[in-house]
Amino acid sequence: MTTEQPPLSTPMIIRSARLADREGLVDVRIENGLITQIAERIDIPNARVYDAAGGMISPPLVDPHIHLDAVLTEGFPEPNHSGTLIEGIQRWSQRKPYLTAQDVAARAEEALRWHVAHGVLAIRTHVDVSDPQLTALKALLSLRERVKPWVTLQIVAFPQDGIYCYPQGPELLEEAVRLGADVVGGIPHYEWTREDGLRDVALAFELARRYNKAVDIHCDETDDDHSRFLESVANHTRLQHLEGRVTASHTTAMGSYNDAYAYKLIRILAQTRVHIVANPLDNIVLQGRFDTYPKRRGMTRVKELIEAGITVAAGHDSIIDPWYPLGTGNQVFVASMLAHVAHLTGSAQLPWVWQSITTAGAAVMGLESYGIQEGAPANIVVFHESTIADILRLMPRPRWVFSHGVLIAQTPPAITTVRWGNTEREVTFTRENISL
């Protein structure tokens, strides 16, 4: 099905929309792909009008951490029987020889569509470069260019099998950066020794310096309370003056550190403005696997990090891959999981959860002109629901998704009714139908 769309120069109005940070409803005027006016009422003859009917509008959702090269691979050549992280890595190693450019591009593009359908227009993907052919990297570099008009795709060169415990690891990482990866990755906790872990971090920063790239390291994704590479990430950030351009992903070991050490670590992370990406879907099922009871949650210290002023975003990490067999590309589901596993259900905390898939993700990706404001690109997601709490509770697909003023995804509202006796009533899962 294709929908006929008018030329971009035709004015467009999103009517009666609610902004998360402003009282009352607004109209948003869009021309030539830009937001040109936000006001209580806008009338333009012949404008195309989308009536939000009091629903919330948001800048695009952001997924700052996913592995698009691995999406939709679970089950072949063998499923992850135990569900553990280590078996996931083994199954992925079995899958890698079957990778082709077409296979990677087809799966990744399909997952991108799932993201877009959920209002996600900015995505940072880690791509496994522990591969002498760099097949997945090359496929995703070309996909990045193909989707550029609609979706911002950033690529992290990610050494899944380690830099120093994998043949030609350092050379492959550098080659990936040279070929055009946007961000340099690392995986220090996976190296065989602590010394190699430190060299892993150092090399990522060295390549970032030489090629002027940002850094995003898979860091301390373990329940081992002795895994302490995040302090080294902060230190390199300070020494290279890369404040604000460095991200540490997962950092689940922070959930196991003693409080005195965690306190010191959070202080230096705040000072160096290192961003953190939590991945609650994967980590709530992958961590704690060596525990009997009580079982750890395997989460980084989200609440304490945010309270210290550190940017904490949330990533989807996996969709139907050897590490996580579920998922649909819905970042609202990710945020909901974060609210649950990080104890963020307080009324003061739900907005932080929303930020983790919007503004915090945008900060991690260094997105410019992000937000619903006059003069910004018309990248707008329109929800049926009118509050953050309702969106997090109902986990819907948005009504409309606009990229640079172009409608690129839409979901008609679902209608559910319940009938008993002689009464049939629509069920909206809100309090609006209750009359006393």
Residues noted as catalytic: 221
Question: Residue 124 or 138: which CB sits closer to Fe ion?
Answer: 124
- Find the farthest-apart pair of alpha carbons in the chain and give their distance in angstroms, rounded: 73
Backbone phi, psi, residue 427, to 5°: -110, 120
Within positions 358 to 397, which residues make up the interface with Fe ion, using CB under 5 A? none
Cβ proximity of 132 and 98 under 8 Å: no
Question: Residue 96 or 384: which CB sits closer to Fe ion?
Answer: 96
Minimum distance, C-beta of residue 223 to Fe ion, in the bound complex (Å): 16
Cβ proximity of 354 and 395 under 8 Å: no
Minimum distance, C-beta of residue 194 to Fe ion, in the bound complex (Å): 21
194-211 vs 230-239: helix crossing angle, rounded to 10: 30
**How many angstroms separate the CA atoms of 254 and 110, rounded?**
34
Minimum distance, C-beta of residue 173 to Fe ion, in the bound complex (Å): 16
Within positions 187 to 246, which residues make up the interface with Fe ion, using CB under 5 A? none
Dihedral angle of Cα 317, 323, 329, 335, to the nearest 10 degrees: -60
Question: Residue 70 or 339: which CB sits closer to Fe ion?
Answer: 70
Residue nearest Fe ion by beta-carbon distance: 317
Question: Residue 27 or 216: which CB sits closer to Fe ion?
Answer: 216
Question: Residue 223 or 390: which CB sits closer to Fe ion?
Answer: 223
Minimum distance, C-beta of residue 67 to Fe ion, in the bound complex (Å): 6
**How many angstroms separate the CA atoms of 229 and 252, rounded?**
12
Q: Is 276 helix (H, G, I), strand (E, B) or coil?
A: strand
Size of the site for Fe ion (CB under 5 A): 1
Tokens of 14: 């999103």
**How many angstroms separate the CA atoms of 332 and 411, rounded?**
15
**How many angstroms separate the CA atoms of 180 and 184, rounded?**
10
C-alpha distances in angstroms, 425 versus 168, 288, 417, 420, 431? 65, 44, 5, 9, 13
Minimum distance, C-beta of residue 315 to Fe ion, in the bound complex (Å): 7
Q: x/- site string to Fe ion, residues 295 to 324, per CB under 5 A?
A: ----------------------x-------
Residues that bind Fe ion (CB under 5 A): 317
